[in-house]
Amino acid sequence: MKILITGGAGFLGSHLIEDLLSQDYEVTCLDNFSTGKLRNIESFKKKINLVEGDIRDSKIVMNALEGVDFTFHLAAQISVSRSMRDPIFDASVNIIGFLNLLESMLKCGIKKLVYVSTGGAIYGEPKEIPVQETAFENPISAYGLSKLVGERYLKLFHETYGISYSIIRPANIYGPRQDPMGEAGVISIFLGNFLNKKPVVIFGDGYDTRDYIYVKDITNMCIKAMHANQNATFNAGTGIQTNLIELVNTIEKVTEMKTIRNFESPRPGDVKHISLDSSKAKNKLNWEPKVTLEKGIKITWDWFRDFMN
C-alpha cells in the first residue's frame, strides 16, 4: 500500500513516516518546508518519494497523489498566535489547502483519509473537562476555526462523494524534532530555553492547563485509525491537566536544572483549560497513551541534548 503524508517533513509527520516505513509501507511525503525541516527526514529520505511543494497547488498535489491508496493530511499552519495575527494566511493553508487536497483526491479516485485536526483548540473553553468528542465545538482562535471548517468539509465530502475518513483531535503533542524556535510546542520551546540557559516565558499566571501527549502515542493512533477507517472523530489525549508551573517543575526535575520564570500577558486565542477524554479511541481503536509526561520529557530532553547542541 502506498501512502501520502502531507506535512511529512514536520514534527509529527516525520515520526509518522518513520513508523509507516518500519511497517513496510511505501510513502510519499508532500511538504513545502515552510516549518518542516530536511533534517527531520534525512535519515530515511532515500526510502521515500519526496514531493516539494504547496498543498494549495493542484498540479503539485496531483503529482504527489500518483499511485497513492491512502492519505494522511497533516500539512497546516499550526500556530494559534500567528492565526490571530494573520487569519487569511491561516485559512488559505488550513481550509483552501485542504479543499484542494480533497478535490485532487476525488479526481484521482482516492477515497480514504486520516485528517489530523486539533483537540486543544477546537472546543474553545469547554464546560466539562476532560472534554468528549460530543461537546460543542466553539473555537476561540482562527486556527481552531480553520481546523473545524476542515472537519466540516471532510464530512461534506464523505456524505456527497463517499470519501471515508478518520478525524483525530490531538491534545498538545510534544517529543523529539519539535521546533524549539516555533510559536507552538511549549515543551520544546522550554527545553530549548533550558539548553541555552535562558529564562522561560509563561503567558498568563502559570495556572492555564494543557493535556500533553507524546508524539509516538499520536502516530500509533494515526495508524490504528487508518486500519479502522470508521468515519469517526477521535480525541487523542491523556485526560490529565498540567499547568505551566507544574510543567516547568517537571522539566527542572528531569533536567536537574533550575530556571528563571518570566511572566507575560496571556495571548489572544489561547484557551485557559483543556484536557481530552479519549475513551472513544480506547473503545473503538483499542488505543491508549503509553508514555507518561515525565518519561516523554526525559526522552525529548535526551534528544535535545544530542541533536540541538
Just list the catalytic residues.
Answer: 143
Interface mask toward ligand NAD for 175-214; x: CB under 6 A:
---------xx-----------------------------
Q: How many helices (H) and strands (E) does the chain have?
A: 12, 13
Largest pairwise CA distance in the chain: 56
Closest distance between ligand NAD and the C-beta of residue 199, in Å?
23
> Rounded distance, CA 189 to CA 180, Å?
4
Closer CB to ligand NAD, 64 or 285, in the complex: 64
Contact 102, 159 (CB under 8 A): no
| 237 binds ligand NAD per the rule CB under 6 A | no
User: Does residue 148 belong to the site contacting ligand NAD (CB under 6 A)?
Assistant: no
Q: Is 139 in the site for ligand NAD (CB under 6 A)?
A: no
Q: Nine-digit cell at 269?
A: 486565542
Angle in degrees, CA 220, 157, 218, rounded to 5? 10
Beta strand 209-210 pairing with 242-243: antiparallel
Instruction: Tell me the per-residue interface mask from 103 to 122 with ligand NAD, x by CB under 6 A, - otherwise.
Output: -------------x-x-x--
Nearest to 51 by CA among 43, 67, 215: 67
Q: Which of 3, 5, 28, 32 binds ligand NAD (CB under 6 A)?
A: 32
Q: Phi, psi at residue 198, to the nearest 5°? A: -110, 155
Q: Residue 145 Cβ, how far from ligand NAD at the closest point, in Å?
A: 13
Q: What is the DSSP string of 178-229?
A: --TTSSS-HHHHHHHHHHTT-PEEEESSS--EE-EEEHHHHHHHHHHHHHH-
Kindly tell me which of 24 and 239 has the beta carbon lying closer to ligand NAD.
239
Instruction: Rule CB under 6 A: say whether 33 interacts with ligand NAD.
Output: yes
- Closest contact distance (angstroms) between CB of 42 and ligand NAD is 14
Interface residue with ligand NAD, options 93, 140, 191, 285 (CB under 6 A): 93
Q: Which residues bind ligand NAD (CB under 6 A)?
A: 7, 9-13, 31-36, 54-56, 74-76, 78, 93, 97, 116, 118, 120, 170, 172-173, 184-185
